[in-house]
Amino acid sequence: MSRLPLDQVDAFVTAARLGNLTRAAERMNLTVSALSHRMRLLEQRLGHRLLARGPRGVELTPDGQRLFDAIAGPLATIEHALRHATVRGDNTVTLSLIPSMATAWLVPRLPAFLAQFPELALNLQSSIHVVDFEREPVDLALRLGGGQWSGVRAELLFDESIVPVASPGLVERLGTPAPDQLAHWPLLGDPADRWKDWFARFGGLPPERYVARFDDTETLHQAAVQGIGVALARWTLAEPLVRAGRLQPLAQERMQAGFGHYLVYPERSLSHAGFATVREWLLDQAAGTRG
């Protein structure tokens, strides 16, 4: 048998570790079909199934488990050695962040960054998966949460806040409500169901039912833009829509969301000159942002 291609072996190990083909494909920057193709080629070479689809993803077959136990450790050792042997220029910095944060907060600021630091190459990885600094050549990331992540440094950029917003057309039809009158408006259910917290603070009772419910913040905001109802929006993502005149805040006050936006990076990034420049620039941009 000819030597096995490492791309097929890596696809197998990544899928086995994550137990999910979609997440494995995202980790490897592949489509699911491309990753599945590599898996099929590997299984054809070996002559037996390695992964089986289960109710919550993919599971190792007995043959797959024996192969994984034999190669996962050595492969991790090789990856670690290559990662630390690779020389990366100080003028190239890789930043990971979720797509919504890239679109609403970072991309509008990029022209100023590029004008100020033309010698730097900033590689953006826009993905919903949490970057694994041990396995991926990423220098820093923007994360949303409470700031408690093991094995990395985390610096608060700014806190997130929430505020009810609606389309100008909806406001024109219904007027501007007081905070405790919002229960009588068509409300859109938000992913975290924060309306209860809003009414507990500002008065009034949440409605028995929402016009529609959403489990994705960006879709929720777009529903508000279309005039379907009032969204309890994350201000960082809603602010560009407000500036563009597509949404209108319905309250002067905002409520703290209980989480913030953090700059996260591994210890190794501290020796990267380009990282230091990008870090300082992000902290400076965050200083002018009120979540």
Question: What is the pLDDT confidence band of residue 87, given thresholds at 50, 70 and 90?
Answer: very low
Would you say residue 56 has pLDDT above 80? no
DSSP 34-78: HHHHHHHHHHHHHTS--EEEETTEEEE-HHHHHHHHHHHHHHHHH
Using a CB cutoff of 8 Å and minimum separation of 24, what contacts does 132-138 make? 132/27, 133/265, 133/266, 133/268, 134/80, 134/266, 135/27, 135/79, 136/27, 136/96, 137/83, 137/86, 137/88, 137/94, 138/94, 138/95, 138/96
DSSP assignment, residue 3? P
- Domain architecture of the chain: domains with CATH: 6-85 (1.10.10.10), 89-291 (3.40.190.290)
Mean pLDDT to the nearest integer, 37-57: 86
Q: Please give the pLDDT value at position 215.
A: 84
Residue 59 has φ and ψ, to the nearest 5°, of -130, 150
Would you say residue 82 has pLDDT above 80? no
Question: What is the pLDDT confidence band of residue 170, given thresholds at 50, 70 and 90?
Answer: very high
Low-confidence winner among 4-8, 56-60, 76-80, 268-272 (lowest mean pLDDT): 76-80
Contacts of 132 (CB under 8 A, 6+ apart): 27
CA angle (268 as vertex; 267, 273 as ends), nearest 5: 115
DSSP assignment, residue 136? S
H-state helical runs in the chain:
6-18, 21-27, 32-46, 62-85, 99-101, 110-116, 168-174, 195-202, 217-225, 235-243, 273-287
Q: Which residue has the higher pLDDT, 19 or 73?
A: 19
Mean pLDDT to the nearest integer, 147-161: 92
Would you say residue 162 has pLDDT above 80? yes
Alpha carbons 291 and 287: distance in angstroms, whole number? 10
How much of the chain, in percent, has pLDDT values that exceed 70? 92
Question: What is the pLDDT confidence band of residue 113, given thresholds at 50, 70 and 90?
Answer: very high
Q: Please give the pLDDT value at position 190.
A: 85
Mean pLDDT to the nearest integer, 102-111: 90
Q: pLDDT of 229-243, one tens digit each?
A: 999 999 999 999 999
Question: What is the pLDDT confidence band of residue 193, given thresholds at 50, 70 and 90?
Answer: confident
Question: What is the pLDDT confidence band of residue 261, given thresholds at 50, 70 and 90?
Answer: very high
Amino acid in the structure at residue 150? S
Q: Please give the pLDDT value at position 91.
A: 82
**Exposure string over 175-211, b if 16+ CB within 10 A, otherwise e:** eebebeebbebbbbbbebebbebbbeebebebbeebe
Q: Please give the pLDDT value at position 85.
A: 46
Alpha carbons 106 and 251: distance in angstroms, whole number? 26
Low-confidence winner among 67-76, 91-100, 222-231 (lowest mean pLDDT): 67-76
Would you say residue 144 has pLDDT above 80? yes
Per the prediction, the chain carries an average pLDDT of 86
Q: Please give the pLDDT value at position 1.
A: 45
Alpha carbons 194 and 164: distance in angstroms, whole number? 11
Alpha carbons 49 and 62: distance in angstroms, whole number? 9
Distances (CA, A) of 207 to 86, 181, 194, 199, 255: 57, 11, 13, 10, 19
Would the pTM count as exceeding 0.95?
no
Question: What is the pLDDT confidence band of residue 158, given thresholds at 50, 70 and 90?
Answer: very high
